[in-house]
Structure 1
């Protein structure tokens, strides 16, 4: 029997119990004036401007070269941080941010959850780690997970709509950026801070443990973090969902030199993730283990910045990253397919200011990647891809108006080991404006033209893709995919309510998608026929809306009461007729939140609509309602230590739910009723 998980739990429990007891003693002897202070790592006591839940709009969006707050951007942006992030942290990135309007998650079991933004996913949504591409193979297949850990995030930034202007053609549908502070950029307040968490879950007999420590002086700072997750197969209303285990270990070390001039730092991280593929569960009763994946990634980053090198309002930032990625798919105990990816990326941004009304930025980005697959499922040949991009943005502000404009040009070359290389020149343009009518109302408008170079699997695939149970054929004649999007938005903020609503129309020329040819290929190893699917292009359109409103119901002796309502809907179809496959269904959700003294609680439900607008040969899914609840008690121990115990409940009604965006929706359902309980410590 493996005693490692038990030892992890015992060690972490001993540490947290000691800290909790120490905090109680400290609370009794600490001076009263220090009781109002709290560790800087404590999300409950993060600096706030006022009582609004949407004070997250004040947080700086690091994915913007101008380092704007979310409320200053005309582009639709969401930031998940603080208590709301703590309540939403999950095993996958997609699941962590799926409560935001316009954002859902793909699903290939609990180990895989890539973000879906406004119906777009895969190679159209860029997943970033501190502004640099995650450099995994999650876009190649739906059973491949992103090599990022949402549990370590300080904040998660979501740029919805075309973001190719800033991050290249892989961001034609948007960007999700995890900010985890592995390279410190400012001195650590107080010289030392950190946090730790331990949680247990009932639906999968699982546990997740994490820690983060930052320390240093005004001129030097160091960082260390780690996560250990061990989840067994989860329960469903219909019994165990076989082969849904997760075993994750990840950690990083970072260090920076700091000063009034800026910062420069480095970090090294390791990501290890083992998880099952419930689409091929095997049969343990007959001694047949299912298909499972072992992922390993080593990442090395260098980042730096200069403060005001050309006067007030200017800045220079640069980043370099190298990743070495390996992903092995096992069929039982035998190696089926090995995926490897080595990537180098560099990025530099220079920000300027011209007087009180003009500012902008110029930048360059370059990457060099080599992807190869070896073994049974090597349906994509070894491919080297090089990309270079130049971009510039400018902003003009006057009185209550703001105008943003930008341009980016990329050069992308994909060179397969067998066959001719392809060259692409995606061009992106953006024009955005906002009008602050008064202190309460703000209108925004965005007009974007974005282009995307086809990905390796879309160009060069030729072989059986067992994750989707199909034989996939690429198309080396594909051209750039082009999108033209118009979006209109309105925002409102008062003492009684915060609200935002947006509607968008995205018209694609030469949209790349996978079509069923109607032919079959005989797979002799499994003695079955697989449908043959080919990557092709056609004109398409996406249109939808999303919105949320938070009503501040009361702030009195009974506590602080807020009611949040949100919803979204998207329709994706071919312009010549016919729906696109796996389009996320519409949703409508509500959550009642309460906070008083040391307590906070919430109760919410979200209704997923039936999805019967399906592509040819695609099955519909029924609607379902998920009910969640959160309860937490927070304790302060002066300025040295704080702690929190919590209990979360998910799918409290035990609903049978199938995720329409999943290739496995006909055979895999979401987990049954689950309770997660644990402790967080801030110091």
Structure 2
């Protein structure tokens, strides 16, 4: 870890801070990104961020934010949302093979990181256990937005660690240029002998717009150094239809989407385990491998209305209904079924400028019914209801921009066999940005955020074979409170642009899953516990524009991050904290060609909790290449070649419950074709 801190200091001194990955031109609306030019790499500053009010661009937001779009998103897309965003400084992933990976933001994961689709919660059960996949498909995204640090102000208790918002344009907000646009892609992956195909089409005029998309992925068990990771196959199907009424008054639309996933748990391969035998690859509680079959149907309504009332510049309404189910199988026998039925609504009003202040206020409502049925029902059926009201304001004072916000919630959690719990979390934030020179600005963010415990933290009790845990909750847990401060320095120059940030987060009554060292039903016994804790970390990124001449455009991106998390009063380290890392990527483009090669070093994670094993360091080498072989007036075709872990290193995620049983994928090469029309 000491090496990673030194490396971060060097990276920061080179140019101080970066804007995560290049992104698409925000002058093309996010939901119209199928236009053939809009996928090209542009500067992140031009991207409009949908997850915050006031249609702000990324460089106008004081709070830490990162956006993936355009060709940078094309190159980063992976089978899981966590892996897709894991190249952003401060963001890593949990992992269970190629099917499961949830984002980890500055050491926070699970119920502290909100996964959203177009501003509303995914409402799956991926936060309950690390073997549960998210129901959001990154391959169909137009852009992916990451809010780092507490975002409870806008999205409530479950966003105390951050937000990942996937924008896919399934409800059109405007008609595409020239009345029609679309994209399609097909790829083959050598590491899984897998195939992925997708399409998207948008059509409309000034009064009506229609959207349709679909995706299919079929991957076999993936290669690892020295063999194959048994029971790591995955099949995914996703699709949606959406339509909107349009006019000068705004828009109103709805969509229906379906997501289906069937994947194996490589932590439970059964007797078929024939992977990397120098470690224990699976605690075989039965002879049959464990698989999960997931299905979700989602109905969304969304509208934006211009100047509906005096003093209100815009009113936005969003409503989503989700019907989710996944079944865990032991071989062909159903073992446990998880279901959720959830309704979520948001109403956001942007007011006209008032005494120099610009801002928005709103209300959010969530009703969620969760149930688990079967032989391993480790969380009881629970109903969660929550109301929240929030306000956010901003104003410029010369070179200083000030952002203020507040939110209060009322939440009840009612299990079917225990007493109801009520919580009233409140959050406050203040941020300031000082542009003290043309190319420099300094930002400071202070947050006080609270989170109500999730149902699994309160009420779990029993075995869960797919995650290889016997979990025991604590129904007497209190709400946790985070007090975070972040200081960041930004630089935007012709030769280099970047960002460096340091932060500290002191938690009162932090909730965590502690290993006990005991075994119950042949599984590690883990208990949900609560103590004060402290997180502190740093991240930096810089992009150097080395040359732009007849040989092409050459850019060098360097980045790194580190986070340290421990219990207060000498209580030791917190478990499953990301390892520090340092990476670099050299990119080149000329005319219809672009290519890049990147190296990222993950340092060993030796700052571990009691009964947790250390994670060895490793280095990954990745590469991308693309050739635009047809660039017509109405269409553009691109062939691409992507390579990951090209040196075939053994790699284990420090964030994963399954790091001792499951390796990350080995060497893999993907080849495919994209079309934009």
Secondary structure of the residue aligned to 1:283 is helix
1:557 aligns to 2:557 (yes or no): no
After superposition, the C-alpha distances for 1:591-642 in whole angstroms (9 at most, x for unaligned) are 0000000000001100000001100010001110000111100134432111
Alignment partner of 1:614 is 2:608: yes
Residues in 2 aligned to 1:679 and 1:671: alpha-carbon distance in whole angstroms: 23
Contact 1:57 1:79 in 2 (8 A): no
Residues 349 and 364, structure 1, Cα contact 8 Å, conserved in 2 = yes
> Is 1:605–2:599 an aligned residue pair?
yes
Match of 2:38 in 1: 46
Partner of 1:589: 583
Range moving further from structure 2, 532-541 or 587-596: 532-541
Q: CA deviation at 1:40?
A: 6.8
CA contact (8 A) 1:41 1:682 kept: no
Instruction: Specify every segment of 5 or more residues in structure 1 that has no aligned partner in the other structure, as ranges.
Output: 1-38, 524-528
Shift of 1:537: 0.6
**Matched-pair contact (CA < 8 Å) for 1:539–1:574:** yes
Matched, 1:148 2:159: no
- CA shift in 2, pair 1:398/1:311, >3 Å: farther
Please say if residues 298 and 325 of structure 1, whose CA atoms lie closer than 8 Å, have aligned partners that are also in contact.
yes
The answer to whether the 8 Å contact 1:265/1:302 transfers is: yes
Q: Map of 1:92-103 to 2, 5 A cutoff? A: 92-103=80-91
Q: What are the equivalent positions in structure 2 for 1:16-27 lying under 5 Å apart?
A: none
Q: Which has the higher contact order (CA 8 A, sep 6+)?
A: 2
Kept in 2, the 8 Å contact 1:42–1:642? The answer is no
Aligned partners of 1:54 and 1:498 also within 8 Å? no
Secondary structure class of the residue paired with 2:662: coil
- Residues 1:312 and 1:420: Cα distance change in structure 2 (over 3 Å): closer
- Counterpart in the other structure of 1:535: 528
| Deviates further, 377-386 or 396-405 | 396-405
Name the CA distance, whole Å, in 2 between partners of 1:202 and 1:519: 41
Superposed, which structure 2 residues align to 1:262-301 within 5 Å? 262-284=250-272, 288-301=287-300
- What's 1:441 paired with? 440
Who is 1:674 aligned against?
Answer: 668
Say if 1:402 and 1:310 are closer, same or farther in 2 by CA, change over 3 A: farther
Q: Report whether the alignment pairs 1:399 with 2:398.
A: yes
2:181 is the counterpart of 1:182: no
Note the C-alpha offset of 1:400: 1.1
Q: 1:284 Cα shift?
A: 3.8
Tell me the equivalent position of 1:8.
none
Tell me, in whole angstroms, the C-alpha distance in 1 between the residues paired with 2:160 and 2:518: 31
Q: 1:41 to 1:173 in 2, by over 3 A?
A: closer
Aligned to 2:456: 457
Give per-residue Cα distances to partners, 1:435-481, cap 9 Å, x unaligned: 11122001100000000000001111111122343321111111101
Query: Residue 411 of structure 1 aligns with which residue?
Result: 410
Q: Which residues of 2 match residues 503-518 of structure 1 at below 5 A?
A: 503-518=502-517
Distance of 1:472 and 1:506 partners within structure 2: 27
Matches of 1:161 and 1:618 in 2, distance apart? 26
Distance in structure 1 (CA, Å) of the matches to 2:204 and 2:34: 18
Partner-residue secondary structure (3-state), 2:466: coil
Q: Report the counterpart of residue 634 of structure 2 in structure 1.
A: 640
**Once structures 1 and 2 are overlaid, which stretch shifts more, 407-416 or 656-665?**
656-665
Alignment of 1:343-362 (within 5 A): 343-354=342-353, 357-362=356-361
Q: Deviations over 1:505-561 (max 9, x none)?
A: 00000000122345443x2xxxxx334322121000000001100000001111111
Retained in 1: the 8 A contact 2:209–2:246? Answer: yes
Say yes or no: does 1:259 pair with 2:247: yes
CA distance in 1, matches of 2:262, 2:672: 23
Partner of 2:560: 567
Match of 2:653 in 1: 659
Within 5 A, what are the aligned runs for 1:133-532? Answer: 133-284=121-272, 288-310=287-309, 314-354=313-353, 357-521=356-520, 523=521, 529-532=522-525
User: What TM-score does the superposition give when structure 1 sets the normalisation length?
Assistant: 0.91
In 2, Cα distance between the equivalents of 1:363 and 1:285? 52
Verify the 8 A CA contact 2:480 2:507 in the aligned structure 1. yes
Does the CA contact (< 8 Å) of 1:313 and 1:353 recur in 2? yes
- Higher mean alpha-carbon deviation, 108-117 vs 286-295, is at 286-295
Q: Aligned-residue CA RMSD in angstroms? A: 1.7
CA distance in 2, matches of 1:153, 1:470: 33
Distance 1:372 1:501, change over 3 A: same
Structure 2 counterparts to residues 49-88 of structure 1, below 5 A: 55-88=43-76
**In 2, Cα distance between the equivalents of 1:497 and 1:508?**
36
Give 5+ residue unaligned stretches, structure 2.
1-30, 275-285
2: CA distance, partners of 1:409 / 1:248: 38
The normalised TM-score by structure 2 is 0.92
Alpha-carbon distance between aligned partners in 1 of 2:49 and 2:424, rounded to the nearest angstrom: 28
Structure 2 contact 33–39 (Cα < 8 Å) conserved: no
Matches of 1:549 and 1:265, distance apart in 2: 40
